[in-house]
Amino acid sequence: MAELVGNVLVGQSGGPTAVINASVAGVVSEALNHECVEEIYGTLNGVLGILNEDFIDLASESQQAIRGLRYTPGAALGTCRYKLKKQQDFERVLEVFKAHNIRYFFYAGGNDSQDTADKISKLAQEQNYDLRVIGIPKTIDNDLPVTDHCPGYGSVIKHICSTVRQVACDNEAMGQHDLVQIIEVMGRNAGWIAAGAALAKRRDQPNDPPHLIYLPEVAFSTEKFVGDVQRVLQREKYCMIVVGEGLIDADGNYVSADDKTDAFGHAQLGGAADYLKGLVEQNFPTVKCRTVKLGMAQRAAVIGGSKADADEAYLAGQAAVKAAVVEGETDKMVTLLRGDTDHYSCETGLAPLSDIANGVKKLPREWINEDGVSMSNQFIRYAQPLIQGETVVPYENGLPAFVKLEKVRVDKALPAYEI
């Protein structure tokens, strides 16, 4: 494959994670190794930054700052949920790329982001513009097809399990067979995150919390829910429940969702915990019910985050650059491949962006026990390696010392674009 000389552009899109910045660090550190890469730019706020020609010079950032991205949560480049709506938007993207000699484009994001990357790449090919596009997987939801798992997932479930164990200590002190604790977690239409809470159980203590896990993959039944809670309260001093935000009923409707949708048409989820709380209060009038909604805190939780997760996010960024620069690949997303030995190992592969775009990988039904509210040993074996080790975060005056990029702006070359 002929060497392609030009500039790198990396962007971030969708909801941030605890490790998405580690992927950017991987891109920058690897891109610096290749002479054909002249400049390394970051686009501010994903595709919005491309349309507005808002680029920063990542090569000018200190190596300390780039290394610090490996333990800094959020999206250091800024993110967006903007959808390229019309052909004019795509034409503008190519115009900006040409003006800045962008020959390598790396986009860290989820399902919709990979679809955007795929469309940009296809347009470049139609216009005979030499551009190599590689997607970098990112989502706490763990629902991207093809890849074994996604950077961001290990850290979020580790945080949730830690939360479950800590809140359980409080519940154990307060409960007298009269307390229900409900923890609502993210995950949209897939139950990967809620399922991950099962790792909080000790292997020799099957009755450990969470006592009940409700997943989007299992249609919710009010009658069954009441019976489930009743059985736990008869046995335990309290009942701890973890519920995924995308919980649905037998008709396929969300038990709780906002009427609003985002730019990609996704429902704004949230409120499943309140819905379940209402059922508890209605059916168990003498029982206290409390809710915990982790919200954005769960996806930003790098303190006590998974080292395995952060390392693999960095590896994915490096692999994206190697694939494009060394191997001449394009129209692909980096995938994480699990080794087939008993000892966990992870390598990277590639899959066509078209196989990833807008797809959703559901939690396998066979990984959910017949009771519908607990996880099988097969799931535990899958998820356990993803939470190993702790991300090392430096502290200053007792608080985490995250990095902030200098964000030296790249001069604009084109007239402003009206979005």
Q: Could you tell me which of 321, 404, 417 has the C-alpha nearest to residue 8?
A: 321
Q: Is 227 annotated as a binding residue?
A: no
Q: Could you tell me which of 45, 43, 60, 47 has the C-alpha nearest to residue 100?
A: 43
Query: What element of type H or E holds 40?
Result: strand 37-43
Report d(CA 341, CA 212) in Å as an integer.
32
List Cβ neighbours of 67 (8 Å cut-off, separation of 6 or more).
Answer: 25
Report d(CA 245, CA 15) in Å as an integer.
15
Q: Is 187 annotated as a binding residue?
A: yes
Burial (0-12, 13-18, 19+ Cβ within 10 Å), 223? exposed
Q: Is 368 annotated as a binding residue?
A: no
Long-range Cβ contacts of 369-373 (<8 Å, 24+ apart): 372/215, 372/218, 372/224, 373/212, 373/213, 373/214, 373/218, 373/228
Structure tokens at 51: 């349309």
Q: Is 245 annotated as a binding residue?
A: yes
Report d(CA 25, CA 74) in Å as an integer.
13
Q: Which of 141, 143, 228, 331 is catalytic?
A: 141
Report d(CA 31, CA 326) in Å as an integer.
11
- Beta partners for residue 180, in sequence order: 239, 289
Q: Specify whether the CB–CB gap between 11 and 107 falls below 8 A.
A: yes
Helix axes 272-283, 222-235, angle to 10 degrees: 70
Report d(CA 153, CA 167) in Å as an integer.
21
Helix/strand/coil for 416: coil
Q: Specify whether the CB–CB gap between 4 and 36 falls below 8 A.
A: yes
Q: Is 139 annotated as a binding residue?
A: yes
Backbone angles phi, psi at 298, to 5 degrees: -70, -35
141 included as an active-site residue? yes
Helix/strand/coil for 43: strand
Query: What element of type H or E holds 293?
Result: strand 288-293
The catalytic residue positions are 141
Which parts are annotated binding residues?
Answer: 15, 111, 139-141, 186-188, 245
Which parts are annotated binding residues for Mg(2+)?
Answer: 111
